[in-house]
Structure 1
Amino acid sequence: MGPLQLRRAFNPDYLVVFIVFAFQTVSAFRHGVSTSYWVLFILGVWYLLRKKIGLQREIKIFALLLLVYLACILPSYLYVDNWEGSLKQTRKILLLVLLPVFYHMFLVSKSRVQNLLLGSSLAGISFMAVASYEVYVLGYPAAKGPYNQIMFGSMAVTSALIALTWLLNAKYGWERIAAAGGGVLCLVSAVLSTSRGAWLGLMFGAVVVLLLNRPENARKRTLALASGGLLVAAIFFFVRDLVIERLAQAYTDFQLLISGTSMQTSLGQRWLMWKTALEMWMSSPIVGIGVGDYQYELAEKMSRGETDLGVLHGYAHNIYLEALATTGIVGLVGLLTALVVYPLTMYLRFYRRTSIGTEANQGSVLGIMITVVFAVFGLTENWTAHSQLIMYFALMQAVCLSVIARNYDRSS
């Protein structure tokens, strides 16, 4: 069977549903699934679907800014000491260039916003299966999936917020059931991860979704919010002890940090990592100490007794301070522009120019929410050091952009 026959046999109608569901499911279950397999799969599907289409101005600018960001970090390579770590981090950052490929693939497949919503809601089954097995069968203190609780919680939170968006805009009964069910499973999974950074992203993301989603039918909106509130209250009732314990621990950690009594807490260790990152940046403020060199420089500081950190961490647990330390002010500006500022301004522009409830409007709301929650995740976790989260970010952004491109009327 040749390429032409393969393309004819390949039905792309539910491509987004499958990829969004499969990506999150594999990320929740398996450790050690090579990123190269995903890249080959994506490029293979793109080959089957390839078709000459005109890329919209926004995706061209987005792709250009990603390339500019990569160019901004080039000078830092002059100062790299640990090339093994540098090349490893570079390989992960380069995954961002998959965003235009995802976009092209989803645009050709005529992706609809409901496909993203359905795929993420179905992923709640996978998240809940992993979380309940780890916590209630294996007896783990937190659900962490194959990587760690922060990554697991971050993906579960994002899917829960996507389900909330669907619930607020659902037109049919089956959509409300799927959205509510998927949202509950994702939310419980996020709670069981005990990741406070993910919970912080949940709060910011929920505010964005509730502020920007304004269904014309006030009765449906009220009903959706009331149902969502009852579900959240029911979830909190069953896991309240876990939530209260983690919040109380955060408060205690903060008191110990302020008083200087102990730094051997989660918050105290993060404070020391951030402080160390700033010290590294001050030694080379323009271009940084070198991409991927944070762990190497931290090991050097620990050997000289210049830090109170007792554990050698691989990164600073903050994408902004990590970028500042390793790529300098130039790299930080490039990162903020490409991953936060431009996406937000672009989606906000589309949001203002589209009617509430339309696919283009929902795509812009989801784009704003995803950008905001990943910006918040970056405050406590260096998600740009994890291949799965980088690809997840690119995947979700591409779906939102392709939905907008297919439904936005530029003559309006």
Structure 2
Amino acid sequence: MPCLPTHNNTVSRLTELGTFVFFAAMFAVLSGYSYGGALLLLASLIWLYQRPAREALHADDRRMLVVLALYFIVPTGMTLWLGNNPTDIDQYSRALLAIPIFLLVLAVPVRLSTIWAAIALGVTLSAPLAWWQIHIQHMDRASGFLNIIHFSNLTLVFTVYCVAGLYWAGTQGQHANRWRASFLLAIACGLYSMIVGGSRGSWVALAPVIVVFLLAFLTRRNIGRLAAIAIVGIIIVASLFALPDSTLQERYDQAVHDVTLYQEDQADSSIGARFEMWRGALHNLQQQPILGWNQQDYTQALKNQVAQDTLDPVALAFSDNLHNNYLQAWVFTGLPGLLALLALYGLPLWHFAKQLRASNLTIRVLAFCGTSTVVSYLCFSLSQVILRRNNGIMFYLLAVVILWGALRQQHSRNPEHLHGLVQGA
């Protein structure tokens, strides 16, 4: 295994601090993730300025750099070519800015205890804020400092991390019980925040994430214990549905009501509007499947459909936001933009997932966290344009590169695991 490049204390401390702030301040501080991201970018620029001696990158690392660059270049080029909203380029630029951070975390180790402490603290702090919004401000749904949908989605991701953290805690010797207690508290807070946030998109991600969890951790020896935990979980969920004024029951009933209305040709509801937006997009993509649409031309096409009574007028209210990241990319950045998006999801998914059964438990836990991040975003993207918002794209990019870097550092300490990875690259 090649030696890691040298780095000074300033860079190391900034990297550690930036990582901690990114996760810990995600929910309880307004734009807290941005402060962490800014610290990591600063550390990466200082590190690059010092021109450290760098060994050749591994094949997956090089592929990831290409994907990050393409996610900036391709959608930006298509946006300019089609004459669409140039403000969207600001979000694509996050992928470009992630490149030096990616190089940084590959070279400069961040202690796993820092990452796990920040994750547990971050989601734990979400609960008091959610409680305040529901019980003091009397909001219908908690949104933290993000928005309602992203608050629920990201608390789900953090909660899933903490479930995996319980396995990592078992490697911490005399400190194991302290870590377990911290993760259990964080899981409870995360579940509370996710429930009072009330985003149904979070629920969609649960089943695939559970499948990933079983792929990573299910063995013959623990099947009984995991089955018992699953039964307890089902009982808890059923109890939450049965509670008076249950948020879960209310959101479920609303979903059923929306679908029923749509079947009766009434599309003016949260789910019904989405169905109409997607129907309009799929119809218009048949005419421009490769290059996509100019925004104004697309809006006019929707108006024509409405005038012909083949589309509900509700679709016009969201002509620039299709509430589906895949359709959004395809319509407004063409097939090249859609392929760039799929690569941004697909490569990290492949990289993390192929390590889900690693014999080293820490590597397996980190691989699970990375895989569950991508799988969750694949699901979130079905009902919202999550990468169009700053918190959505920044969390995805930085979480992926930080977990990737942490995984690479673990491989440097366990070269026998890296050998198999490189052989398959």
Query: Which category of TM-score, normalised to the shorter sequence, fits these structures?
Result: 0.7 to 0.9
When residues 278 and 332 of structure 1 are mapped into structure 2, their CA distance, relative to the original with a 3 A threshold, is same
Pick from 404, 409, 419 the counterpart of residue 411 of structure 1: 419
**Structure 2 CA distance for aligned equivalents of residues 19 and 72 of structure 1:** 27
When residues 276 and 191 of structure 1 are mapped into structure 2, their CA distance, relative to the original with a 3 A threshold, is same
Please report how far the alpha carbon of residue 137 of structure 1 lies from its aligned counterpart in structure 2 after TM superposition: 1.1
User: In structure 2, what is the equivalent of residue 44 of structure 1?
Assistant: 42
Give TM-score, length-normalised by structure 1: 0.84
Is contact 1:165–1:213 with CA below 8 Å preserved after alignment?
no
Which stretches in structure 1 are left out of the alignment for 5+ residues? none
When residues 222 and 169 of structure 1 are mapped into structure 2, their CA distance, relative to the original with a 3 A threshold, is farther
Is contact 1:49–1:105 with CA below 8 Å preserved after alignment?
yes
**Structure 1 CA distance for aligned equivalents of residues 236 and 195 of structure 2:** 13
Please report how far the alpha carbon of residue 217 of structure 1 lies from its aligned counterpart in structure 2 after TM superposition: 6.8
Q: Per the alignment, in what secondary structure is the counterpart of residue 336 of structure 2? A: helix
Deviates more, 1:182-191 or 1:361-370: 361-370
Please report how far the alpha carbon of residue 321 of structure 1 lies from its aligned counterpart in structure 2 after TM superposition: 0.8
Percent pairwise identity: 19
Give TM-score, length-normalised by structure 2: 0.81
Q: Per the alignment, in what secondary structure is the counterpart of residue 105 of structure 2? A: helix
Please report how far the alpha carbon of residue 59 of structure 1 lies from its aligned counterpart in structure 2 after TM superposition: 2.0
Please report how far the alpha carbon of residue 393 of structure 1 lies from its aligned counterpart in structure 2 after TM superposition: 0.4
When residues 229 and 297 of structure 1 are mapped into structure 2, their CA distance, relative to the original with a 3 A threshold, is same
When residues 76 and 394 of structure 1 are mapped into structure 2, their CA distance, relative to the original with a 3 A threshold, is closer
Q: Does 1:288 align with 2:292?
A: yes
When residues 356 and 253 of structure 1 are mapped into structure 2, their CA distance, relative to the original with a 3 A threshold, is farther
Please report how far the alpha carbon of residue 97 of structure 1 lies from its aligned counterpart in structure 2 after TM superposition: 2.3
User: In structure 2, what is the equivalent of residue 339 of structure 1?
Assistant: 344
Please report how far the alpha carbon of residue 335 of structure 1 lies from its aligned counterpart in structure 2 after TM superposition: 1.4
User: In structure 1, what is the equivalent of residue 121 of structure 2?
Assistant: 122
When residues 305 and 214 of structure 1 are mapped into structure 2, their CA distance, relative to the original with a 3 A threshold, is closer
Q: Does 1:30 align with 2:38?
A: no
What is the RMSD of the two structures over their aligned residues, measured on CA atoms? 3.1
User: In structure 1, what is the equivalent of residue 396 of structure 2?
Assistant: 393
User: In structure 1, what is the equivalent of residue 330 of structure 2?
Assistant: 324
Q: Does 1:148 align with 2:147?
A: yes
**Structure 2 CA distance for aligned equivalents of residues 216 and 153 of structure 1:** 33
Report Cα offsets for 1:142-188 as digits up to 9, x if no partner. Answer: 11223421111111110011011112342111111111111111111
Give the number of aligned pairs: 391
Q: Per the alignment, in what secondary structure is the counterpart of residue 419 of structure 2? A: coil
Please report how far the alpha carbon of residue 11 of structure 1 lies from its aligned counterpart in structure 2 after TM superposition: 6.8
**Structure 2 CA distance for aligned equivalents of residues 305 and 227 of structure 1:** 51
Matches of residues 12-411 of structure 1 in structure 2 within 5 Å? Answer: 16-22=19-25, 24-25=26-27, 28-30=28-30, 40-50=38-48, 51-54=52-55, 55-73=57-75, 74-80=77-83, 82=84, 86-171=85-170, 172-214=176-218, 218=222, 226=228, 230=232, 233-234=235-236, 237=239, 240=243, 241-260=246-265, 262-290=266-294, 293=295, 297-298=298-299, 301-302=302-303, 305-306=306-307, 307-310=311-314, 312-313=317-318, 314-336=320-342, 338-352=343-357, 354-357=358-361, 359-408=362-411, 409=415, 410-411=418-419
**Structure 2 CA distance for aligned equivalents of residues 403 and 10 of structure 1:** 16
Please report how far the alpha carbon of residue 283 of structure 1 lies from its aligned counterpart in structure 2 after TM superposition: 3.7
Alignment-mate amino acid for residue 128 of structure 1: A
When residues 199 and 7 of structure 1 are mapped into structure 2, their CA distance, relative to the original with a 3 A threshold, is same
Please report how far the alpha carbon of residue 397 of structure 1 lies from its aligned counterpart in structure 2 after TM superposition: 0.5
**Structure 2 CA distance for aligned equivalents of residues 228 and 100 of structure 1:** 40
**Structure 2 CA distance for aligned equivalents of residues 204 and 141 of structure 1:** 28
Report Cα offsets for 1:283-326 as digits up to 9, x if no partner. Answer: 42211114xx38x8437745984442346234111001111111
